[in-house]
Amino acid sequence: MLKTVKTKFFILASISSLILLSGCGEFKDIDKMVFVSMIGIDESGNPDKPYKIILKLYVPTSSFKQNPAPEYTYLIKEGLTMDETISLLESHIDKELDFGHSKLIVVGEKMLQNKKNKVILDFLIRRPDIQMISYFAVGRPNAEEIVKFAPAGETALQPTIFNYFDNSGAETSYIVTSFVFDFRRRMKEDGISPILPIVEMDESKTHFIINKSIVLEEDKPPYELDSEKTLLVKLLSNEAKSIFYEVKREDELFVTRLDTIKPHYTVDIKDNHKVSIKVDIKLAGIITESKNSLRNKELPRYSKLLDEEMKEKVTSIINELKREGYDPIGFGLSLNSHTLPKNRMNDKEWLSAFQNADVEVKVDSSLKSTGSIQ
Amino acid sequence: MSSKEILSWIMNQFNDTVELTYKPLELDNKKITVLYIKSLIDQELFQKYILQPFFEIDSEEKLQVYLMALPQFQEVPSKEEGLLYVMEGNVLVEIQENLYAIDFKLSKNSDVNSTSVETTIHGSELALSDNLMTNINIIRSFYHEPSLTIEYFLKGEVNKPKVAVIYDQEKVKTTALEMIKEKLKEIDKQVITESPQFSNFLNQKRFSLFPQMLLTERPDRIVYNLAGGKIVLLVDGSPQCMMAPVVFFDFMTTMEDNYHTFVISNYLKLLRYLGIFVCLLLPGIYIGAASFSPEVFRTEFMLTIAGSRMGVPFTSFVEVLFMLFFMELLLEASIRLPKAISATAATVGGLILGTAVTEAALASSIMVIIVSAVAISTFVIPVNEMAFAIRIVRLLLIVVASIFGLAGLTLGFLCLVMYLVNQTSFGEPFLRVYNYRKENKKSEGEA
């Protein structure tokens, strides 16, 4: 008897306390939310309100067939701080802003030059509803134009720009993908520099062009890499899946398609306290285009030509990065990872060591075919 | 008590009914008295095996030996037994101060039914009959083991149907058997008509959600489970039987699983388990994702949901409950309706609910898809009792999801698993993983 009274009391108490709880998140129907597609952050030029926030909002359509054209609305506001600006923007719309589906954060080029990236990152990290798996990119000439731009061929609900980054659409090796969490890691970590893709539009304003990247380093201006350098950096950081590479040597001019790319590098400190970077790249692929006629017998010679070409290019990009003091590949991190904490160099020591490092590149490629059927 | 007194006592019990026939027969030096209920006995048999020999056999002693040699012959130990025999369709014969019962029961319900609940593509299409003896005959003729034991009980104060408890003495789980017998003794009901009732009578908990016994109409399932050590309960007049103890996974298997090849039966099992998860969780996931955490799904998908919900006047959980309510009504209606109408009713209901509701913007088109997916996946569960239980659990999960979102749904599901783990079926853990211990194989239900 006592037991049943106890259970009843327990049920009553738990139900009444459950009603008081708000649960996780508020009940809000999906049609009362508006989803943010992209966030653009620009510099306004106004010293009182330095930030300009551009939000691209999805307009939901009930049927894709009825409404295949892309439709977006934009919220733009300048403000002193980013969070305040966004909270003001929330009063511009009748629904709740939901950042859960915003996949891309575009930062204007000027913002980076003015070293605002730390402030931006701080804002992005602190806001819980901004996903850390969003892509992070640099907009050229500014974020607003990139965010507002809908390229030809875009359909409703599917912003084409995401396809550039997620490997489900474009699979080119010229595009660097940077997530917010990865960007933050590279910012915080010693020995690796953040690298961001640059998003541009072509002259006729029909498509995006994403094949350049920008490397950031504390206390230094951002360093831009053109498309070829971007490719090589991707290749070295083992992110390139397949690349087309042109070889122009000894009267031969051919293009190779390299499917197997295995870069390997070791960073060591030698006896004379000098850092040595050894890069060993294994390549395999076929020749896809050639000016002269090629012969299968001579494949080893072509491979050798590719080795030389690649070695020269890779050495020069590493030397360039080293000279300028940017490290998007993470040589410093690699060294730190197998050095005891007490032996690690501090930032300045590493920078000078890196700039004086010996670079040794070895390329071992094997071309399997001349691509033609004989 | 002499046989004469017993006969007159029995007649007194019936006092005014005209059904009872009492006939003293006397010829030459032979004298017998017969007592029977006319509507219960097979009159042809009576004529052939009692009346004819009575006129042909010349002495009373020979007649008595003849009667004792009949396969339908039974002794009458007491007057109460005698009364019962009469009511069961025996003919009481009094000869030389001895009282015997000869079973001439006329049963018109001994035809074997064809399966209607557990239909399969492969395997037998014959089910049990309404007659207990026929059913036992079916079971015995499928299960040739001397250890097969059948015990009879009479339950129900008023209608006193025969209840048979069948088990394989060598394989049965004795604790479960004792528990069932003990609980059978405690049953104190006026009328018992069907074996599914025992599921509630033997269950001492007042509120139980999941069935404690497995209901089946298929002889092959009975035989399979007997071999697995289960106890089968049959009631006279009921074409279905109950089996215990059960585990949850018994309810998720069909007999067909044994008739298919390995890959196919496993594929079907996988399909079934996916189905049970879909019908349990899908409405809750819809509510949780659409109203609490829209970031869990793909952007395009969420936007489609948001778009299809445009103009719907209800919040998501009202929408779900509204549609599920009509679906359940449709389900219930199609069970009760005559077969000819039910197909039409289902089509009309489905069409009206499906298209008209979205046209009128009372529910989103995604909701209609979800409700129909849920309805279809409910039918995938092979045993009906479990499907009913799952329907109730689904409602609870919808309530939890509409208050606490996806996290609540997860927690609710966890609570369900905890509840199932806590359940036992006649001493056996209810959520025991199928065949987990080889040495216990003997005592375990494997169906």
ipTM of the complex: 0.74
Nearest residue, CB atoms, A33 vs list B294, B304, B310: B294
Give the integer Cα–Cα distance in Å for A60 and B305. Answer: 9
Nearest residue, CB atoms, A60 vs list B295, B307, B405: B307
- Tell me if B299 and A18 make a contact (CB, 8 A cut-off): no
- One domain, residues B218 and B347: no
- Tell me if B305 and A28 make a contact (CB, 8 A cut-off): no
CB A374 within 8 A of CB A296: yes
- One domain, residues B75 and B154: no
Q: Which of B246, B271, B287 is the last residue of a domain?
A: B246
What does the pLDDT read at residue A316? 92
Query: Is A103 an 8 Å CB contact of chain B?
Result: yes
Query: Is B358 an 8 Å CB contact of chain A?
Result: no
What does the pLDDT read at residue B440? 52
Query: Is B291 an 8 Å CB contact of chain A?
Result: yes
Half-sphere exposure of B154 (CA within 13 A, CB side): 10
What does the pLDDT read at residue B446? 46
- Tell me if A23 and B299 make a contact (CB, 8 A cut-off): no
Number of domains in chain B: 3
Any domain includes B291: yes
- Tell me if A31 and B306 make a contact (CB, 8 A cut-off): yes
What does the pLDDT read at residue B447? 42
| Distance between A61 CA and the closest CA of chain B, angstroms | 5
CB B265 within 8 A of CB B122: no
Enumerate the residues of chain B whose CB falls inside 8 A of the CB of residue A65: none
HEC profile for B43-108?
A: HHHHHHHHHHHHHHCCCHHHHHHHHHHCCCEEECCCHHHHHHHHHCCEEEEEECCEEEEEECECCC
What does the pLDDT read at residue A18? 67
Residue in B with minimal Cα distance to A31: B306
- Tell me if A100 and B293 make a contact (CB, 8 A cut-off): yes
Nearest residue, CB atoms, B407 vs list A24, A26, A63: A24
Enumerate the residues of chain A whose CB falls inside 8 A of the CB of residue B299: 35, 37, 58, 101, 103, 157
CB B312 within 8 A of CB B322: no
The DSSP symbol for B394 reads H
Those of residues 59-78 in A touching chain B at CB distance below 8 A are: 60-64
Give the integer Cα–Cα distance in Å for A308 and A294. Answer: 18
Residue pairs spanning A and B at CB distance below 8 A: 80
Enumerate the residues of chain A whose CB falls inside 8 A of the CB of residue B295: 98, 100-101, 131
Nearest residue, CB atoms, B290 vs list A30, A37, A103: A30
Any domain includes B316: yes
HEC profile for chain A?
A: CHHHHHHHHHHHHHHHHHHHCCCCCCCCCHHHEEEEEEEEEEECCCCCCCEEEEEEEECCCCCCCCCCCCCEEEEEEEECCHHHHHHHHHCCCCCEEECCCCCEEEEEHHHHHCCCHHHHHHHHHHCCCCCCCCEEEEECCCHHHHHHCCCCCCECCECHHHHHHCCCCCCCCCCCCCEHHHHHHHHHCCCCCCEEEEEEECCCCCCEEEEEEEECCCCCCCEEECHHHHHHHHHHCCCCCCEEEEEEECCEEEEEEEEEEEEEEEEEECCCCCEEEEEEEEEEEEEEEECCCCCHHHHHHHHHHHHHHHHHHHHHHHHHHHHHCCCCCCHHHHHHHCCCHHHCCCHHHHHHHHHCCEEEEEEEEEEEECCCCC
**Residue stretches of chain B with pLDDT short of 70:** 1, 16-18, 204, 434-447
- One domain, residues B62 and B183: no
Inform me whether the pLDDT recorded for A85 exceeds 50.
yes
- Tell me if B299 and A103 make a contact (CB, 8 A cut-off): yes
Query: In 3D, which of A281, A286, A334 has the Cα closest to residue A308?
Result: A281
Enumerate the residues of chain B whose CB falls inside 8 A of the CB of residue A64: 304
Nearest residue, CB atoms, A30 vs list B294, B311, B408: B294
- One domain, residues B56 and B130: no
Nearest residue, CB atoms, A60 vs list B292, B303, B404: B303
Cα B351 to chain centroid distance, Å, stands at 33
Q: Which of B103, B127, B152 is the last residue of a domain?
A: B103
Give the integer Cα–Cα distance in Å for B433 and B399. Answer: 29
pLDDT tens readout for residues B145-179: 888 999 988 887 787 888 899 999 888 888 889 98
What does the pLDDT read at residue B416? 92
Residue recorded with tokens 């789980």:
B173
- One domain, residues B89 and B229: no
Enumerate the residues of chain B whose CB falls inside 8 A of the CB of residue A60: 303-304, 306-307, 310
End-to-end CA gap in chain B: 51
Q: Which residues contact B256 (CB under 8 A, 6 or more apart)?
A: B120, B121, B122, B123, B265, B268
Query: Is B405 an 8 Å CB contact of chain A?
Result: yes
pLDDT tens readout for residues A205-235: 888 889 899 998 877 888 899 988 998 998 8
- Select from A26, A30, A64 the residue whose CB has the most chain B CBs within 10 Å, as the one to mutate to test that interface: A30
- Select from B285, B286, B303 the residue whose CB has the most chain A CBs within 10 Å, as the one to mutate to test that interface: B303
- Select from B292, B317, B364 the residue whose CB has the most chain A CBs within 10 Å, as the one to mutate to test that interface: B292
What does the pLDDT read at residue A63? 67
Query: Is B290 an 8 Å CB contact of chain A?
Result: yes
What does the pLDDT read at residue B278? 93
- One domain, residues B425 and B278: yes
Enumerate the residues of chain B whose CB falls inside 8 A of the CB of residue A30: 290-291, 294, 302, 305-306, 309, 316
Inform me whether the pLDDT recorded for A1 exceeds 70.
no
- One domain, residues B183 and B59: no
Q: Of residues A361 and B205, which shows the higher confidence score?
A: A361
Rounded average pLDDT over A79-102: 86
DSSP states along B249-265: GGGG--GGGGTS-HHHH
Enumerate the residues of chain B whose CB falls inside 8 A of the CB of residue A100: 293-295
Query: Is B408 an 8 Å CB contact of chain A?
Result: yes
Rounded average pLDDT over A307-316: 91
Give the integer Cα–Cα distance in Å for A350 and A346. Answer: 6
Give residue limits of the domains in chain A: 30-62+69-225, 226-373
Those of residues 153-172 in A touching chain B at CB distance below 8 A are: 157-158
Give the integer Cα–Cα distance in Å for B353 and B334. Answer: 15
- Select from B207, B297, B302, B402 the residue whose CB has the most chain A CBs within 10 Å, as the one to mutate to test that interface: B302
Q: Which of B246, B281, B311 is the last residue of a domain?
A: B246
Query: Is B28 an 8 Å CB contact of chain A?
Result: no
- One domain, residues B283 and B176: no
Enumerate the residues of chain B whose CB falls inside 8 A of the CB of residue A63: 307
- Tell me if A23 and B408 make a contact (CB, 8 A cut-off): yes
CB B215 within 8 A of CB B182: no
Q: What is the mean pLDDT of chain A?
A: 85
Query: In 3D, which of A282, A269, A277, A280 has the Cα closest to residue A331?
Result: A277
Nearest residue, CB atoms, B315 vs list A26, A29, A61: A29
Any domain includes B108: no
Give the integer Cα–Cα distance in Å for A111 and A43. Answer: 6
Those of residues 2-31 in A touching chain B at CB distance below 8 A are: 18, 23-31
What does the pLDDT read at residue A22? 52
Query: In 3D, which of A212, A81, A206, A103 has the Cα closest to residue A158?
Result: A103
Query: Is B305 an 8 Å CB contact of chain A?
Result: yes
- One domain, residues B419 and B278: yes
Query: Is A94 an 8 Å CB contact of chain B?
Result: no
Give the integer Cα–Cα distance in Å for A113 and A196. Answer: 13
Query: Is B316 an 8 Å CB contact of chain A?
Result: yes
Give the integer Cα–Cα distance in Å for B213 and B430. Answer: 10
Which residue range(s) make up the domain with B14? Answer: 3-103
- One domain, residues B147 and B274: no
What does the pLDDT read at residue A19? 65
CB B443 within 8 A of CB B171: yes
What's the topology of domain A226-373?
A: GMP Synthetase; Chain A, domain 3 (3.30.300)
What does the pLDDT read at residue A198? 92
Query: Is A266 an 8 Å CB contact of chain B?
Result: no
Nearest residue, CB atoms, A58 vs list B303, B310, B402: B303
- One domain, residues B99 and B117: no
Any domain includes B253: no
- One domain, residues B31 and B132: no
Give the integer Cα–Cα distance in Å for B126 and A140. Answer: 77
Any domain includes B437: no
What does the pLDDT read at residue B334? 80
- Select from A7, A11, A31, A63 the residue whose CB has the most chain B CBs within 10 Å, as the one to mutate to test that interface: A31
For A142, the token pair is 């500014």
